[in-house]
Amino acid sequence: MQSSYAGPPIDDQYIIGKLPEYLAAMLVAQNGWIAYSGGLHVRGACLDPEWHSLRAAWEGENALYRLFPTVSENDIPIAEDCFGDQFLIRDGLVLRLFSETGELEELGISWPAFLNRVDEQPVEFLDLQPLTRFSAEGGILLPGELLSVYPPFVAKEGGASLRPIPNLERRRFLADFARQIADVDDGQQIEIIVKSSESQ
């Protein structure tokens, strides 16, 4: 797995102490990373930068369980993809949070098995085709950025426009969007009125 960003030295022993042994050992060996041109970001045991901090995503003001009702505060928010979908560990198995809808998918595999699957077929397994297109058109995703997608993927014409924005801005937008469409039935039309800096 070729990474484009390696996390800083560990300075959050508290989080290391909360992790299962296999995750703690992984972060001791490599304190998080970004790979596949930004397609996968594995968080680290650090306090800064905040976008890379496992503690911030797990327990902070904008922790995933605070933003998404389907996420438990015991879920370990170990990683995310370039669009803001999250990979959580619950009872030793990986779950995927589709952040546009707030829905969870049980992948039924361990974290090491997940990394193996990603390493074998990153684009297919992580659905990174839009990122591939973005990169082919000269786009660059810097550390700390995620891709803003407009219209959202859940829309019929989703993913037409992609642009990089700060990680936390994207995560907050997704949580708010998921709340607003929580009661919308499949196939029902919605009107998207863009008022934030997520506008395209």
- Taking only the tens place, the pLDDT of each residue in 151-194 is 888 876 666 899 999 999 999 999 999 998 776 655 555 555 55
Residue of 103, 110, 115, 11 lying closest to 55 (CA atoms): 11
Q: Mean pLDDT over residues 86-102, rounded?
A: 97
Residue 182 has a pLDDT of: 78
Q: Mean pLDDT over residues 69-79, rounded?
A: 97
How many Å apart are CA 75 and CA 87, to the nearest integer?
Answer: 10
Write down the pTM of the prediction.
0.89
Identify the domain containing residue 99 by its residue range. 3-180
Of residues 150 and 26, the one with the higher pLDDT is 26
Does residue 75 sit within a domain?
Answer: yes
Assess whether pLDDT exceeds 80 at residue 24.
yes
Give tens-digit pLDDT for 105-147. 999 999 999 999 999 999 999 999 999 999 999 999 999 999 9
Query: Which residues make Cβ contacts (< 8 Å) with residue 26, sequence separation at least 6?
Result: none
Does residue 199 sit within a domain?
Answer: no
Does residue 26 sit within a domain?
Answer: yes
Does residue 190 sit within a domain?
Answer: no
Does residue 187 sit within a domain?
Answer: no
Residue 200 has a pLDDT of: 42
How many Å apart are CA 15 and CA 4, to the nearest integer?
Answer: 24
Does residue 112 sit within a domain?
Answer: yes
Does residue 198 sit within a domain?
Answer: no
How many separate domains does the chain show? 1
Does residue 194 sit within a domain?
Answer: no
Per residue in 50-73, is it b (16+ CB within 10 Å) or e — as a string? bbbbbbbbbbeeebbbebbebbee
